[in-house]
Structure 1
């Protein structure tokens, strides 16, 4: 056939199990080799019924003595087997004619299941059965994580084939293996073969708690891959170029320090110097500024912005919500606008809810460079926003922004291939193990002291049945001229959660507190309405604000002295801590009441109890963060930073911190002395998942 008429052979359609393998991410041989069992079944030995104990999962060899379909209490196949020492009844509530045929009287079977003892003797419900005969397995049988259309038998064969074909040659050169920090460093191939098919005498506890040397080898290799990926990302960024920003004597930076109505704390001065040092280099800053709720991060950000503006560049500050963005805007306007006005510059404000006539002049000022500082929400990274000379991007509550959003902000700079400096802020402190692993590519500055004048917040756990007492407490606070937050977890009724909604709570409190202005704030309200409600509360005219979690961050009302969190058991720990941080900002004694509703059995769930206990025991954000990591694990803790993040599959930061430090020390040695091995190691463990780090 002429080439022009040649028809490409149709691609062979994938079978359902093949599609399922892809769905699980099992594409490469190494993916299959690293797909480890959830648990194991012991099919290596046969137990006699007379020696078995109730509740045990055992394998017996027996002959079918009776097989019939019963209809009471429901249709079922009832099979009686005898192993020579006792009999056992097998019950199948789901079965086919072929199944019935395979369990005919006289058939010799291997039967595996959980033994239950009853008045009529031993029973097993839906045990696994197969014809007897042939050699028993010599290793424990693996049970793998799977999906509905992927049977264990198919998956076991695929894993076995992948394990045989995968390149498992060592990527850590022999002289460097001791630096993995392992007492008994197994070769990778031996560790994987062992974990897929452990011998029957292996103590199951060491497999289940992953303390076996084979598990330790895998964990250390995975942590090393993560450290290599972070280190490569950091070095790649260090090769990029950014504007050198230095504050001149007597410039905006010094002027701002002079007009601030308070003195900086020692911690604020220290982190300010760290940031100024970064901005003075020709390498893009990639720094995380972390500090507890109310530690004073905004003023540090303002001083960094002043350095950029002083050097003739623009700065953008992006926050996740309009309320938080507006909070920053008001503070920055108060501090910076008088100083910028003398230079013919302004602070611009951008949000998604702005009318076109408000937005157009803002866009014009940003494009011309007249707007030296731009504060806003996601609107700051929209396509029509064109900066004249952007040199510094500040992202508040950075865990709420995805990688793509941060990249979009970086791409707003177009100055001869240069990158903007990036300062990310978080009021959720990062535990040390997380900082060493998932944030190893960042420089971290920590404000570890609170400004003077912050009053400690007393935290009380109160059962929902004592709600009337809480309302009385609110009445007393308002009578003293104080203000109160009442936070609800939902906007409207949900049949699944059955929680009191914000609207109903607002109505109930309004009725219970005649003469008190009770406001309502939730995310579905129009922006103008939200603004009006916040203005009344901030101005002191509103005594009580009923709100959903839109007030979690950024709201600063020093006169508010009581925070009530309804259904506190439904909130995350860091969220509870953020909400508590809305009070105690003035001189008045402040309290946070965690209203909780026990479940149907009159008890709280284990996780909810751990969260509320942590809140009652400590107000230290770093201790809260450590406990939050223990409760939730890193996946949830990290939030939106990790769009496709290579979360650890085998290592657990709570139990394997001892392997993290050696991996951190080994990564630069491997990368510098054995770059090809380092590249193979990262590809093996992370595949293409390390790209997210580039943000």
Structure 2
């Protein structure tokens, strides 16, 4: 519209409104209880506001006319998601009877009891697996809440019914950790597990592929290598995807297509999803939440410290390690340049070796070969290394109970969920744990707000909600956004009451007014395509 005068714009808007189709797509009772004006009145009022309109409300999009359009948009999103949810229920999947032996044998062997939240979620998943349509469940749980054991119980139910299970993780470090954990739990039950990653040698890879194809391997753990063309399952019944938002839509679909009929799918995420985001962008999934941490975990103390006090922090690291604990030193995130980030990690490693000649110091970063990374992580896990210099490659899944101190450099450069994930690498044992956030220079208002949230809360859901307010849903959805149109008018925080109303009525509208629903979707979603998450 550059160069167009007000008069020309007004004329164009008037003509557009005269020609626009402004009929009501849905029955009048949809809007009656919400006291919302008609679609036509709303469009006209927003393009030609009355002289006495409240300018602040108009600007903040809180007038009844803005609210009408926001509701229509949120309802269209719900209808599209729930339509997809209903369509998936018409697809057939293998039915698995509840486990009679394997799950109880596993639970008896564990040195801990499940929390009530884990038991509740395990029952929800067990029930899903007994159905004749594919499960699509997202299992959310904060860092350290015990999602893996719940996933293992689901895997055992599937295996006891004679089907195979695939467990896919986004990095080799995390995949190997899952593999080792599963081995310790399942080897006593005589269950054969295959391991499949991109860095395997040809001989090991071919042996793994053969055991998967023959059905000898009941559980297959790996990375992206699991959905490559050469991988053939005998009968894949359940796909478990950890940190599901790190995989693209096509990658998740490729794994699902390895099974006939369609396998059940359990997605896990340690990045809690705010309630409003879960209600809107995840309305096509069933969501389970583990909202309780196992007993005996020590709370993590978080401190925000200026880089000017670095010497004090170095002394704190020395004391922690000499007392028999272990520590992480996380290098700053340098998004502009991977080479620069690598140089910083190497420089920090050298500095730490010079600073702590009495300590054994290790280094792990994203450019190392998987086998090198695994070797360093194994040394750290075994307690042979006291201090680990790392990039954010350790963000997810690394579990070393003896590590009780973490220092994060340039914490102001990182997002809230990333800081929370990193902090979750400590506090996994009984020792008192601390996370020190080092910052440099003067903090921006946004960076200050982020660090304040992480300092004040250890609750991933509170942090995720704050992250949503600071960044908005676009960035927060990240890869998950594939195929999901962002809301243009509605705001998840401002319009939460409208979102709840839309969620309440979507399923009954689909059932009772299918023709009208299609008209509504045509108006609001025609250019966006279907909202499909796989």
Q: Same fold (TM over 0.5)?
A: yes
Partner of 1:479: 322
How large is the RMSD of aligned CA atoms in angstroms? Answer: 2.3
Aligned partner of 1:681 among 497, 520, 523:
520
Indicate yes or no: 2:414 matched with 1:571.
Answer: yes
Question: CA–CA distance in 1 between the matches of 2:150 and 2:91?
Answer: 25
Task: For residues 419-449 of structure 1, give each alpha carbon's deviation from its aligned partner in whole angstroms, at most 9, with x where no partner exists.
Answer: 2111111111222212211111211111111
Deviation at 1:690, TM superposition (A): 4.6
Partner of 1:267: 117
Aligned partner of 1:393 among 235, 239, 242:
239
The answer to which structure, 1 or 2, has the higher relative contact order (CA under 8 A, 6+ apart) is 2
Between the two proteins, the alignment pairs up a number of residues equal to 534
Aligned partner of 2:359 among 510, 516, 520:
516
Deviation at 1:462, TM superposition (A): 0.4
Partner of 2:20: 166
Aligned partner of 2:176 among 319, 326, 329:
326
Partner of 1:641: 480
Contact map agreement 2:333 2:413 (CA 8 A) in 1: no
Deviation at 1:688, TM superposition (A): 4.9
Larger Rg: 1
Question: CA–CA distance in 2 between the matches of 1:361 and 1:500?
Answer: 38
Question: CA–CA distance in 2 between the matches of 1:393 and 1:303?
Answer: 13
TM-score by length of 2: 0.95
Distance 1:193 1:545, change over 3 A: same
Distance 1:495 1:237, change over 3 A: closer
Aligned partner of 1:216 among 63, 67, 76:
67
Partner of 2:30: 176
Task: For residues 390-418 of structure 1, give each alpha carbon's deviation from its aligned partner in whole angstroms, at most 9, with x where no partner exists.
Answer: 0101111112122212111111112xxx2
Indicate yes or no: 2:193 matched with 1:382.
Answer: no
Distance 1:158 1:551, change over 3 A: farther
Question: CA–CA distance in 2 between the matches of 1:129 and 1:398?
Answer: 47
Distance 1:539 1:440, change over 3 A: same
Partner of 1:203: 54
Task: For residues 344-365 of structure 1, give each alpha carbon's deviation from its aligned partner in whole angstroms, at most 9, with x where no partner exists.
Answer: xx11111122222221111111
Distance 1:330 1:159, change over 3 A: farther
- For the residue of structure 1 that corresponds to 2:438, the secondary structure is strand
Where is the helix percentage greater, Structure 1 or Structure 2? 2
Question: CA–CA distance in 2 between the matches of 1:162 and 1:388?
Answer: 59
Partner of 1:293: 143
Aligned partner of 1:561 among 380, 391, 404:
404
Question: CA–CA distance in 2 between the matches of 1:526 and 1:375?
Answer: 19
Indicate yes or no: 2:274 matched with 1:431.
Answer: yes
Question: CA–CA distance in 2 between the matches of 1:694 and 1:402?
Answer: 10
- Which 10-residue stretch deviates more, 488-497 or 534-543? 488-497
Deviation at 1:492, TM superposition (A): 9.5
In the alignment, structure 1 segments of 5+ residues that lack a partner are 1-16, 21-127, 131-135, 138-152
Deviation at 1:605, TM superposition (A): 1.2
Partner of 2:157: 307
Partner of 2:455: 616
Partner of 1:543: 386
Partner of 2:309: 466
Aligned partner of 1:452 among 279, 295, 312:
295
Question: CA–CA distance in 2 between the matches of 1:496 and 1:358?
Answer: 32
Question: CA–CA distance in 2 between the matches of 1:653 and 1:199?
Answer: 27
Distance 1:206 1:315, change over 3 A: same
Aligned partner of 2:444 among 588, 605, 627:
605
- For the residue of structure 2 that corresponds to 1:691, the secondary structure is coil
Distance 1:266 1:366, change over 3 A: same
TM-score by length of 1: 0.74
Question: CA–CA distance in 2 between the matches of 1:403 and 1:607?
Answer: 31
- For the residue of structure 2 that corresponds to 1:474, the secondary structure is helix
- For the residue of structure 1 that corresponds to 2:218, the secondary structure is strand
Deviation at 1:197, TM superposition (A): 3.6
Deviation at 1:497, TM superposition (A): 9.5
Distance 1:667 1:384, change over 3 A: same
Task: For residues 539-578 of structure 1, give each alpha carbon's deviation from its aligned partner in whole angstroms, at most 9, with x where no partner exists.
Answer: 1010111111110011000000001111101111011111
Question: CA–CA distance in 2 between the matches of 1:503 and 1:555?
Answer: 21
Question: CA–CA distance in 2 between the matches of 1:227 and 1:559?
Answer: 45
Distance 1:512 1:493, change over 3 A: farther
In the alignment, structure 2 segments of 5+ residues that lack a partner are none
